[in-house]
A and B are shown apart, each in its own frame.
Chain A
């Protein structure tokens, strides 16, 4: 059974204080690892897809990386508008469905 564990559950940062979120996974054969952002009262919003170990993707202050066992979402010099819950999900070969972790709730204070 595919499993995704995210840590920490919650993270509080000061504006400009860089940090990383962790996503550990076990999957029969990784087809893709996905990062989503979810704001309160809204649906998850797609950020990145990573396909193979060593791959990196960037978007503004966010950079996602992937190894064979985990993925990191690095947040550089965060701003208050980066406050949200960040969700990680995996998709296995032979399946179209996504298995999600419970997310990391990020709060960035001015």
Chain B
């Protein structure tokens, strides 16, 4: 399996522009996560989908951020309008959630998108 695939790897945009980050999870996985990583705050969960349905979006910073998962093999994270403080590395991860009674399930991460807003 190719693993979690994210695009683009790098994005430089001007403040106020719309940015769309893309993710293809591992085939067969039913959970998808978007995380943001900065030096100051580390890895922070933005949103979590299970079976293509958003379950927890409490980490989404504000209304400028939105995420969709139209099918099991694709998700997007959109920022509109973008601001310099959105500059960070954005990771997508996927896992196979096998049920509430089973033990912890590890998440597999993509290579990330480094976003720079100038």
Contacts and interface: CB of A to CB of B under 8 A. Distances in A.
Contacts of A51: 103-104
Nearest to B47: A97
A70 B104 CA distance: 17
B105 A32 contact: yes
Interface in B1-57: 4, 31, 33, 35, 41-43, 45, 48, 50, 55-56
Contacts of B93: 43
Interface stretch (A14-22, A73-81, A100-108): A100-108
B106 interface: yes
A93 B104 CA distance: 8
B100 A94 contact: yes
A32 B42 contact: no
A45 interface: yes
A49 interface: yes
A53 interface: no
B107 interface: yes
Interface SS majority for chain B:
strand
Q: Place the interface of chain B in its size category.
A: 20 to 34
Nearest to B31: A96
Contacts, number: 61
Contacts of A43: 4, 91, 93, 109-112
Q: Place the interface of chain A in its size category.
A: 20 to 34
B104 A49 contact: yes
Contacts of B95: 96
B104 A101 contact: no
Contacts of B104: 31-34, 49, 51, 91
A18 to B, nearest CB: 26
A103 B42 contact: yes
B45 A97 contact: yes
A69 interface: no
A96 B48 contact: yes
A34 B95 CA distance: 13
18 contacts: A32-B106, A33-B104, A34-B106, A34-B107, A41-B111, A43-B93, A46-B106, A46-B107, A51-B104, A87-B43, A89-B43, A96-B50, A97-B33, A97-B45, A98-B45, A98-B107, A99-B45, A100-B35
